[in-house]
Chains A and B, each alone.
Chain A
Amino acid sequence: MTWRVTPLALSLVTLAGVILSLAVLTARADLFMAAVPLALALGTLAVRAPAPDYAVSYAISSDRLWEGDTVTVTVEVTARSAIPFMELLEPLAAGGAQVSGRPRAVMALRAGQTERWRYDITYPVRGVHDLGTLIVRVRDRWGLCSWERRHVERRRVRVHPRPTPLRSLPRPRRTQTSVGDYVAPVYGEGLEPGDIRQFAPGDRVRQVNWRASLRLGTLYVTQQHRERNADVVLMVDTLAQVGTASTTTLDASVRATSSLATAYLARKDRVGLIVYGGLIDWVRPGSGRPHHERLADALLRADVVFTYVAKDLKLVPPRVLPSHAFVIAVTPLLDRRFTQAVLDLVARGFDLAVLVVSPVELLRAALSAAPVDQLACRLWTLERRARLAEIRRHGLPVVEWNPAQSLEAAVTGLDRRRYRAMAAR
């Protein structure tokens, strides 16, 4: 706690000096009397008051938020000794905006009294934000000296990208052994009817197809397709990004990845993540709510780290990228190293789809309507179209998504492209 004389005290000393000088110069006794209140107030500085005794507690309503959500901060001050004037301030870090309440609080407390200060902060963009650093300043009863203290009670708020609900998703070609939502080609326990065959010992009576059995004179059973889950690996390109500070291609990619992860996990699939950039980060495929939080945390860390080093997917362990996994690459296609990595996966026989986040539309929104800018955007669009066509020639299903438009439409288009690419092969 730092004790200091306030600027007000120094102003009063100056003013007292001026009064007394004027009193001497004008030889007016009443002016001496005008200096008495100032001298009395300043005289309190000679006796140092004891430091204020108080306790501050800091609480937030939630430590995990979606983009655009609000967190309520509650600061509670309990005074153990009387506090004539207390100022509280929490400097807000970039990324957050106060939506209700005031950025500072002033309170006067009696001994034993408790007072609360509440305000709401909203975070429009994903990220990890630290809260809980308060600057507390207590003034004495005349405002001539103050005690300052930095109260640190760190609270971390994780703001996750808000997932878009997706009803239709690209369907994985290969399924795994666990129970899920996809109809597998293999027969066994399930709901979807498949072929019929002759009754064999061990078959259940309820599987008997009575219509076929009566027609053919011997017992036949209906086989059922098993319902299985799939491994889906989402690969996010963090090699480069474009856009404004609030909306970049990486933000859009992360939002799309989060939406896909949420939708696939809801279908009981195992979802993995590879953040492919200057630093490669990954999460092994898994399912369930804790795994969803693991994926969300990994997506929060996704950021562009510049490097000349060409990353290789051989670094990724096979458990993270299982051979039967369905890989969805989310990329703005700004760096050729990512294209190379995707083509490498195709060559290794992976079931793969590419969702390309269009950087042109993001940039066009940030640029002026000047003809030169618009011309540059049109040229860039043409260049990218040629590049996408080149990638499609390798048999890759690629769909371009404008972040301003629906992700659902782009994802549906991705499934269509995959079937077309498969038919072409």
Chain B
Amino acid sequence: MSWLPVAVLALMLFGMTLRVAPYEAVLEIGLVALLLVATGLATPWRWPMISAACLFLTNHALALWGTDAPVDIVGAAVFGVALLFLLQLSDLGRGMRRASVGAGVTRSLLARLLVFAVMTLIATTAGMAIARPLSAAVPAVLAPLLATAGALGVVTALALAATGAGRRARAGPSP
């Protein structure tokens, strides 16, 4: 039954985008993404699930941009959490396939996901509280530049965190 939460999350992502822009193009892209999720669940490959996540995301971004929908911070955070859980659960599901699953696995997993969702909500609210007064201080001309630089900085920092951790592990003594 490890496929069930993944399927629910995929449908949720599909539904959220369709709610923003109920157009045929959005529906078609969403259906392709769902097909990729189904492929990812049926096969041991990782790439269909990552492609589906990218497709859901692009579809959602295009839907928001095309309809010029009002900014929904909580909705965006929920979308991000759903994307993250989709990838995490599909990865764990792959690990649990044809395996004898211990009694505490599902319980501890649910508890962790719940804690993470709450943490994200708190972080998003805190982020918004800080961003609101700061945005008033930034000149409108510099805003796109700052956004681009911030995005680049975050991606670089995340990539460094991932690769640097690996390098440290290779260099350091084994525990």
Contact = CB atoms under 8 A, between A and B. Distances in A.
A108 B84 CA distance: 21
A104 B152 CA distance: 41
B174 A34 contact: no
Given A19-B80, A30-B75, A46-B161, A107 B104 contact: yes
Given A46-B165, A142-B88, A105 B102 contact: yes
Contacts of B104: 107-110, 113, 115
A33 B87 contact: no
B174 A2 contact: yes
B99 A8 contact: no
Contacts of B96: 106
Q: DSSP majority for the B interface?
A: helix
A27 B76 contact: no
B92 A143 contact: yes
A186 interface: no
Interface in A15-37: 15-37
Category for how many chain B residues contact A: 35 or more
Interface string B55-71: 00110111011000001
B103 to A, nearest CB: 8
A27 B145 CA distance: 11
Contacts of B112: 84, 141-142
Interface in B36-62: 46, 50, 53-54, 57-58, 60-62
B116 to A, nearest CB: 7
B58 A22 contact: yes
A134 to B, nearest CB: 14
A40 B61 contact: no
A45 B147 CA distance: 24
Interface in A99-146: 101-110, 113, 115, 117, 119, 139, 141-145
A40 B88 CA distance: 14
A152 interface: no
A85 interface: yes
A17 B124 CA distance: 18
Given A24-B144, A48-B168, 9 more contacts: A7-B91, A15-B87, A26-B61, A37-B120, A85-B105, A106-B101, A107-B101, A108-B104, A145-B165
14 contacts: A8-B88, A12-B158, A16-B154, A23-B61, A28-B65, A35-B154, A38-B83, A42-B162, A84-B112, A102-B98, A104-B100, A106-B95, A106-B96, A147-B175
